Amino acid sequence: MEDLPLVITPHPLNDLTQEQVRELARAAYPLILADLTQQGPIPREAYVDYVHPGARSRQVQQQARAQAAQSAPRAR
């Protein structure tokens, strides 16, 4: 079990909608398929390329704040 390859997904999962779970599964599918069919080297840990919707919201908010700060007139 020590050498069992792992596919690691972002957490938490409990607040994802059904469509978001499907999106996550689509992102994980190529990694799982490669592990099951042993196509090429299998990394010990493979991270799914998926950004949790909550993290996406925070990224958008941070970008909006940064843009607002750049465009705001500067006090002298």
- Domain ranges (residues) in the chain: 6-71
Sign, Cα dihedral of 35, 38, 40, 41: positive
pTM check: above 0.75: no
pLDDT, residue 41, reads 65
pLDDT in tens, the chain (76 residues): 677 788 888 888 888 999 999 999 999 998 888 888 877 666 788 888 888 887 777 777 888 788 888 887 766 6
Would you state the pLDDT for residue 24? Answer: 92
- The first and second tokens of residue 38, run together, are 């042993």
Residue 22: the pLDDT is 94
Q: What are phi and psi of 45, to 5 degrees?
A: -130, 125
Answer for the pair 35, 42: CB distance below 8 angstroms, yes or no. yes
